[in-house]
Amino acid sequence: MGDRFVVVPVDTGKTSGKEGERSGSTGAHPAPDTGGSSSSVPGTVFEPAVHILEYNREPNKYGDGVPKENSPFINSAENDKNNYDGTNMALFEEEMDRHPMVSSLLDKLANYTNLSQGAQEHEEADEEEGTKKKTVKSPQMGTFMGVYLPCLQNILGVILFLRLTWIVGTAGILESLAIVGLCCSCTMLTAISMSAIATNGVVPAGGSYYMISRSLGPEFGGAVGLCFYLGTTFAGAMYILGTIEILLTYIVPQAAIFTAERKEDQLNALLNNMRIYGTICLSLMAVVVFVGVKYVNKLALVFLACVILSIISIYAGVIKSGFDPPDFPVCMLGNRTLQNLQFDKCLKTEIINNNTVSTQLWRLFCDGPELSSTCNEYFVNNNLTLIQGIPGLASGVISENMWSAYGPLGMLVENKRLPSVGGIDPAKDIYLPYVVNDISTFFTLLVGIYFPSVTGIMAGSNRSGDLKDAQKSIPIGTILAIATTSFIYVSGVILFGACIEGVLLRDKFGDSVKGNLVIGTLSWPSPWVIVIGSFFSCCGAGLQSLTGAPRLLQAIARDGIVPFLQVFGHGKANGEPTWALLLTAGICEIGILIASLDAVAPILSMFFLMCYMFVNLACAVQTLLRTPNWRPRFKYYHWTLSFLGMSLCLSIMFISSWYYAIIAMGIAGCIYKYIEYRGAEKEWGDGIRGLSLNAARYALIRLEEAPPHTKNWRPQLLVLLNLDSDLGVKHPRLLSLTTQLKAGKGLTIVGNVLQGTYLSHEAEAKKAEQNIKSTMATERTKGFCHVVVSSNLRDGISHLIQSAGLGGMKHNTVLVGWPGTWKQSEDPQSWRNFIEIVRETTTAHQAMLVAKNVDSFPTCQDRLGEGTIDVWWVVHDGGMLMLLPFLLRQHKVWGMCKMRIFTVAQMDDNSIQMKKDLQMFLYHLRLDAEVEVVEMHDNDISAFTYEKTLVMEQRSQMLKQMHLSRTEREREAQLIHDKNTTAHTTMNNKEEAGPDRVHMTWTKDKLSTERNRNREPNANVAVRDLFNMKPNQSNVRRMHTAVKLNEVVVNKSQGAHLVLLNMPGPPRNRGGDENYMEFLEVLLEGLNRVLMVRGGGREVITIYS
């Protein structure tokens, strides 16, 4: 790289100014004088000063001057450095500003770090904000601290402590294992799919939302992202409800505001207390999150320590129960479990001072304390029994807890092994102090309640920006966390069933053991370890949900895919999502007002399951499409596993609650359609786009195999638009007509031709395309835009007609506007182009529609009242005239219009029979229309027609002569120019040869005299011939047809909303093109909205099914 460029002059003259400027612009500077001679003596060897070219990579010197987009890898400030030096790559030097050297790029690629939490995505530049990015410290979190522990904290939580024992007692060990296995398999398969997506490149902050939206597109991403947000928000409500349940039931029951005098009011009192305290707790947590998120993150490890300590105490209690079970007796009346809250002794009577007196329990079942008072029949007939609530690991109780004990609301919790007398109708006893089911229980309900205990697997991917090696840590940490928690849940199901009595397992709130937490009765050294641990665990999980959910909503809002959510993308100066936090707290309050943990759990299960389902779908789609960018580092995935995970998610949704599943899918569907309809256009290289591309390719190949059947034929339109001087659409109503004609179906290509070369008009072409697309959006025209730059309009239009479309998706109909100002146009090329379009569409076997007075056509917002669409069927051209009114009436603009069909009968035709045949034909076509046959007799050609034809031909002749005169003038001007040039050259040559030569040339007067002398006789002859000419008989007949047909059409259809009629073809002899335009003008005279139709040479409508 030590070579130098040496500039050696090749001429002996002075350096021109331009050359000097050019050399200066390239940055050439003279080196110090080497002492060489600069003599100009011929034969002297030049030894000029050596110039070293210094390469400047500024775009305004070597580039084209257009500012380029910043590279995502290279800091623009470094682009000014001399990263290039040498001759080997000089071929690429002009593109260095856009395509940097690989050598300067590799170190930046190797050191490229993940974006920090909360940073904008890599494709969304920060240029709009105008602020410099702060230098972010390199993330250092590993697999254990960054993924494993956060996942563990999010997975283990409220359901484990408050509901798992109840699920085991209700469903039995076997079915509980099935529930745990089903849910854990679902999350494990989802984790495998998530690991594949997370290791397929850099995953910035945003976690699951980012992965789904970039894999399945903005519509799916927005829908599932919002569902995940709702799931996280309701999870916060569930954790808060769990916190309040622990507080009011197990820690300070005396704090209850609402108390129940009767047992039947206890449930409502509990729910009201949950609502009051839940709202207070939510408010406090929201304030904490608003004031300082950093404190929440710092306390996360403390809350996790509480969870781990609680689990350890459970295992310790299980081990201890094997040789020293704790003493938690359960009082049974017959085989029924009693609430041990209002009595101390499990006795009916007791002896005090040799007197038999009644106990507190007696007073609960009898009218009074007297032994002679009337008591409940079942209380009288059955004995009281004390059984151990925790018989221990070696007691063999596991065999009794194997099977399920589902039941309806109010069912008494009974031990079938104990004797029971009477109690045939237990319904009347449910308000006595028995332990009863507070809800109806069945397998699918328990699945929905349990599933939230396995959510939280996204915690690692949500922290991807803080990980040292996210592509290694996320799969390992997440899968290990799921394996660990699955082991805890499976072992917990088995150990709970092996250590705890069945009636205590089914006692949801621990009423039979003096209001102790059931799982706490098993723990060691004290039940308070579990109570305090689970309380702080639920508090921490609630704070985490209120911290994460607003940030997820903020990420969705900042993406701009849901317009009405953009306000939630703003926040405090430090980026905290204030508005999103308020919305999250409001939605969370809805869950708290529900107040029942068992009712909220299935709701958030739906939203999480929907999110997991689409993670699996994203992985499966990317794998099956074999997208080139799909190269995950995690290799232990397969599309069958992803589909199995997706099927499991969908199955669990409908198993746990089919109506919640339908509601959740409906919400996601509405969000999807909203984003599709109103959302911002985003191109994220997602899998759905790839799937659409594959489906389109397959469909196009299939379409290419054979032409469409007549039954499938529909107008596939190529709409040729005119643009004004500002590149705006001149006639937007042409697009309105397209929309009404297509009713959103079929292919529409909107084309335009710009005159010039593409290199010089590229910017204009893009602007024209943007303007056309904007007008298409305004007119609700769904289709494609194609702007062509051509050396002349004629060739450009021809190229569009020949090549627009792809494969089998090509246009079969061309729609243009009638050139209404063709007579006033000085340039005849405009109407000649129109006639050439007619000829080319005929040659290409394409139909053609020509709209006259297109600006008077209705917009898509108009609603035409009752009126008619009149079809003038003069010649058969494949049935286009029948099909078009039917298609128009499918649109709401023309829906009220009736269809009338007119056909023309000649002298020899039976008009009555024609009408019957036409009515039968329409009947078979399933078209409703009025039919009328118009008779046109062969009348003599009127003087008006003869005169109109004569005027037409005279005008045509005058135009030709004017054109010839113009051509002659141009030829004479060229002749004068050539002669003057020759004279000038000759004079110079004569001067060099000698001064005595004389040169003769044209003078101005001589030229004028000569020109007039040659022109006057020709002009007189031309004028004389013009007034003596007779019209061509063929033209007279054509004019007669146009005049007569126009009279009939105007007479019958002048008040119609739209008139459709056959368009006659252009003459084969191009010399009669002007006359053809005149014929069409006469044919359309006096009519407002007209659509001339020219068939493509094939049948487009059929009577067969």
Predicted pLDDT at 685: 56
| DSSP labels, 880-913 | HHHHHHHHHHTSTTTTT-EEEEEEEE-TTS-HHH
Identity of the highest mean pLDDT range in 43-52, 71-80, 95-104, 387-396: 387-396
Interval 490-503: pLDDT, tens: 999 999 999 999 99
Predicted pLDDT at 746: 76
Q: Would you say residue 762 has pLDDT above 80?
A: yes
In 26-148, alpha helices (H): 59-62, 102-110, 143
Q: Would you say residue 1075 has pLDDT above 90?
A: no
* 3-class SS shares of the chain: helix, strand, coil, % to 5: 55, 10, 35
Mean pLDDT of 949-953: 62
Rounded to 10 deg, the angle between the 207-216 and 687-704 helix axes is 10
Tell me, what DSSP letter sits at residue 939?
P
Q: Would you say residue 1017 has pLDDT above 90?
A: no
Q: Where does the pLDDT of residue 92 fall: very low under 50, low under 70, confident under 90, or very high at 90 and above?
A: very low
Q: Which tokens in the block code for residue 702?
A: 């299939």
Q: Would you say residue 153 has pLDDT above 60?
A: yes
Q: Where does the pLDDT of residue 688 fall: very low under 50, low under 70, confident under 90, or very high at 90 and above?
A: low
Residue (of 895, 899, 863, 896) closest to 883 by Cα position: 899
Predicted pLDDT at 242: 92
Number of Cβ within 10 Å of residue 771's Cβ equals 20
Q: Where does the pLDDT of residue 474 fall: very low under 50, low under 70, confident under 90, or very high at 90 and above?
A: confident
Which carries the bigger pLDDT value, residue 84 or residue 168? 168
Residue (of 587, 516, 507, 508) closest to 550 by Cα position: 587
Mean pLDDT of 706-731: 83
Mean pLDDT of 446-452: 92
Cβ contact 866:895 at 8 Å = no
Longest CA–CA separation in the chain, Å:
170
Q: Where does the pLDDT of residue 598 fall: very low under 50, low under 70, confident under 90, or very high at 90 and above?
A: confident
CA-CA-CA-CA torsion sign (1081, 1082, 1084, 1085): positive
- Separation between Cα atoms, residue 1095 and residue 1105, nearest integer Å: 22
- Separation between Cα atoms, residue 530 and residue 457, nearest integer Å: 24
Predicted pLDDT at 624: 85
- Separation between Cα atoms, residue 356 and residue 363, nearest integer Å: 14
Which carries the bigger pLDDT value, residue 65 or residue 517? 517
Average pLDDT across the chain, whole number:
77
Interval 276-294: pLDDT, tens: 999 999 999 999 888 877 7
Identity of the highest mean pLDDT range in 200-214, 259-273, 1020-1034: 259-273
Which carries the bigger pLDDT value, residue 1104 or residue 238? 238
What residues does 930 pair with on adjacent strands? Answer: 900
Number of Cβ within 10 Å of residue 730's Cβ equals 13
Integer angstrom CA distances of residue 751 from 792, 845, 978: 15, 19, 43
Q: Where does the pLDDT of residue 951 fall: very low under 50, low under 70, confident under 90, or very high at 90 and above?
A: low
Cβ contact 500:397 at 8 Å = yes
Q: Would you say residue 27 has pLDDT above 50?
A: no
Predicted pLDDT at 506: 93
Interval 904-913: pLDDT, tens: 887 777 888 8
pTM value is: 0.65
Predicted pLDDT at 1008: 55
- Separation between Cα atoms, residue 339 and residue 617, nearest integer Å: 49
Q: Would you say residue 820 has pLDDT above 50?
A: yes
Interval 357-384: pLDDT, tens: 888 888 888 888 888 888 888 888 888 9
- Separation between Cα atoms, residue 703 and residue 720, nearest integer Å: 25
Predicted pLDDT at 625: 77
Predicted pLDDT at 82: 43
User: How far separated are the first and last CA of the chain, in Å rounded?
Assistant: 78
Q: Would you say residue 112 has pLDDT above 70?
A: no
Which carries the bigger pLDDT value, residue 464 or residue 789? 789
Predicted pLDDT at 363: 87
Q: Would you say residue 830 has pLDDT above 80?
A: no
Q: Would you say residue 128 has pLDDT above 80?
A: no
Interval 624-658: pLDDT, tens: 877 666 788 888 889 999 999 999 999 999 988 88
3-class SS at 1061? strand
Predicted pLDDT at 97: 60
Residues 6 or more apart whose CB falls under 8 angstroms from that of 122 comprise: 72, 115, 202, 204
- Separation between Cα atoms, residue 1086 and residue 1047, nearest integer Å: 9
Q: Would you say residue 484 has pLDDT above 50?
A: yes
Mean pLDDT of 460-468: 72
Predicted pLDDT at 944: 58
Q: Would you say residue 1071 has pLDDT above 80?
A: no
Give the CA angle between residues 465, 187, 150 to the nearest 5°.
40
What residues does 352 pair with on adjacent strands? Answer: 355
Which carries the bigger pLDDT value, residue 68 or residue 612? 612
Q: Would you say residue 149 has pLDDT above 90?
A: no
- Helix (H), strand (E), coil (C) string for 351-393: EECCEEEECHHHHHHECCCCCCCCECHHHHHCCEEEEECCCCC
Q: Where does the pLDDT of residue 108 fall: very low under 50, low under 70, confident under 90, or very high at 90 and above?
A: very low
Residues 6 or more apart whose CB falls under 8 angstroms from that of 517 comprise: 161, 162, 246, 249, 250, 510, 527, 530, 531, 534
Integer angstrom CA distances of residue 1041 from 819, 937, 947: 22, 11, 14
- Separation between Cα atoms, residue 52 and residue 6, nearest integer Å: 6
Percent of the chain with pLDDT over 70: 73
Q: Would you say residue 23 has pLDDT above 50?
A: no
Residues 6 or more apart whose CB falls under 8 angstroms from that of 368 comprise: none
Cβ contact 437:413 at 8 Å = yes
3-class SS at 1043? helix
337: part of which helix (H) or strand (E)?
strand 336-337
Number of Cβ within 10 Å of residue 517's Cβ equals 25
Mean pLDDT of 727-745: 85
- Separation between Cα atoms, residue 591 and residue 605, nearest integer Å: 13
Q: Would you say residue 315 has pLDDT above 50?
A: yes
Mean pLDDT of 197-221: 72
Pairing of strands 384-388, 329-333: antiparallel
Predicted pLDDT at 965: 55
3-class SS at 813? strand
Predicted pLDDT at 946: 53
